[in-house]
Amino acid sequence: MREVSIIGVGIHKFGRFDDEPYTKIGLDATTMALRDANLEWKDIQIAFAGCMYLPATSGVRTLTQLGKTGIPITDVESACASGGTSLRLASLAVGSGEYDFALALGLEKMPRGFMDPTQLYEDWQIKIGLSQNPMYWALMARRHMAEYGTTIEQIGKIAFKNHKNSVYNPYAMYQKEFTLEEILNSRNVNDPITLLMICAPNEGAAAAVICPKDMAHKFTTKPIDIAACVHTVAKYAADFRVPAKSLSAKVSPPPVSKFTADKAYEVAGLGPEDIDVAEVQDTDAFCEIQAYENLGFCKVGEGGRLIDEGITEVGGKIPVNTSGGLISKGEPIGASHLGQIFQLVQQLRGEAGAVQVANAKVGLGHVLGAGGNCAATIIKT
């Protein structure tokens, strides 16, 4: 397999855009990525589009606006890991030697409110009340609080950090800082999760252009290498996400995020101690604490300590979610992971502005969702 690099990234702001069809949103992210890569659409030889709530052939409908060049364009869906699957397939296509230029696109238009349960749950689960995701996140949080002493203040500090970072992200849905008191006292969603601790499903797109590493410098002075891009599904049917069979908050080990991250570290020849900056799944604030532990940034039960000690703040040892995370950006499922990659590329290029991490050389992106789908990507300069 050839080594591959990202030579261009693009994004469409995450939010709500009633007057913009998904084809326009995806096109904006794609054209930005192509400009960044100093390429034209006719140069792309294969493309993958990650989405979950869009119609069939959404990738074709979006990308052929640039021209019907006859290339293969494939829609892929892996729940919240859809963008990771798109990036992985683009990387494999180039790494195999069959193609030199591939596009990974993630795009989405989500329904308002909680995710449409009919997409994920069986009818009987919906009827007896098992179909609201925040219930499961809250159960996991409460179990962690009981077992390890994690506090509501520590969970609130995650949201405080991410909202603070969002002020500097022009592509985030919400760009407003809140006090810890405002976060803790905002409307209850599912105890202990409050409104300002949780992300909103929304709309958006992000894209990346991939080429062989040995060609990358022809197109950019700042290529970013893909050291690993891994997609897995939880090994055990007891995964608490969907389709949920019970209200149990206990998941059999190993957690899929740990399993996926360990594979990514192995492929990259790196470890958690090598990560300079990370973007992780913070569907709610507690999920970020759980990610710290599963990604190896600390021992299980010590995630709250990291936020207390400022380790995951900008300026800390391992800054996490400098973009503001999903809590601030929102979560357009298909675009989620590639939105993380956009931020990490900015960081590794030294172009992240007020939230720039000093001397960032290695970044990790992590997403986790329905069916136990999980993706982890490690990129480096």
pLDDT in tens, 297-347: 999 999 999 999 999 999 999 999 999 999 999 999 999 999 999 999 999
What pLDDT was estimated at residue 255? 87
Give the pairing of strands 362-368 and 193-194: unpaired
What pLDDT was estimated at residue 127? 87
> What is the spatial distance between Cα 79 and Cα 279, in angstroms, rounded to a whole number?
18
> Which one has a higher pLDDT value, 289 or 244?
289
Mean pLDDT of 190-195: 95
pLDDT digits (tens, 9 = 90+) for 78-99: 999 999 999 999 999 999 999 9
> What residues contact residue 19 under an 8 Å CB cut-off, 6+ apart?
none
What pLDDT was estimated at residue 66? 97
| 241 confidence band (pLDDT: 50, 70, 90) | low
For the chain, the three-class secondary structure string (H helix, E strand, C coil) is CCCEEEEEEEEEEEECCCCCCHHHHHHHHHHHHHHHCCCCHHHCCEEEEECCCCCCCHHHHHHHHHCCCCCCEEEECECECHHHHHHHHHHHHHHCCCCCCEEEEEEEECCCCCCCHHHCCCHHHHHCCCCCHHHHHHHHHHHHHHHHCCCHHHHHHHHHHHHHHHCCCCCCCCCCCCCHHHHHHCCEEECCEEHHHECCECEEEEEEEEEEHHHHHHCCCCCEEEEEEEEEECCCCCCCCCCCCCCCCCCCCCCHHHHHHHHHHHHHCCCHHHCCEEECCCCEHHHHHHHHHHCCCCCCCCHHHHHHCCCCCCCCCCCECCCCHHHHHCECHHHHHHHHHHHHHHHHHCCCHHHCCCCCCEEEEEEECHHHEEEEEEEEC
What pLDDT was estimated at residue 367? 97
152 token code pair: 């509501």
Res 368 pLDDT > 90: yes
What pLDDT was estimated at residue 114? 75
> What is the spatial distance between Cα 340 and Cα 319, in angstroms, rounded to a whole number?
13
pLDDT digits (tens, 9 = 90+) for 99-120: 999 999 999 998 887 777 888 8
* Average pLDDT, rounded, for the chain: 94
What pLDDT was estimated at residue 124? 87
Q: Domain spans of the chain?
A: 4-113+199-380
Residues making up the chain, counted from first to last: 381
Q: Is 369 exposed, middle or buried (0-12, 13-18, 19+ CB in 10 A)?
A: buried
Mean pLDDT of 125-139: 84
The greatest distance separating any two alpha carbons of the chain, rounded to the nearest whole angstrom, comes to 58
Q: What is the architecture, at CATH level 2, of domain 4-113+199-380?
A: 3-Layer(aba) Sandwich (3.40)
Percent of the chain at pLDDT > 70 equals 95
The pTM assigned to this predicted structure is 0.95
What pLDDT was estimated at residue 317? 97
pLDDT digits (tens, 9 = 90+) for 158-173: 999 999 999 999 999 9
What pLDDT was estimated at residue 243? 63
What pLDDT was estimated at residue 111? 83
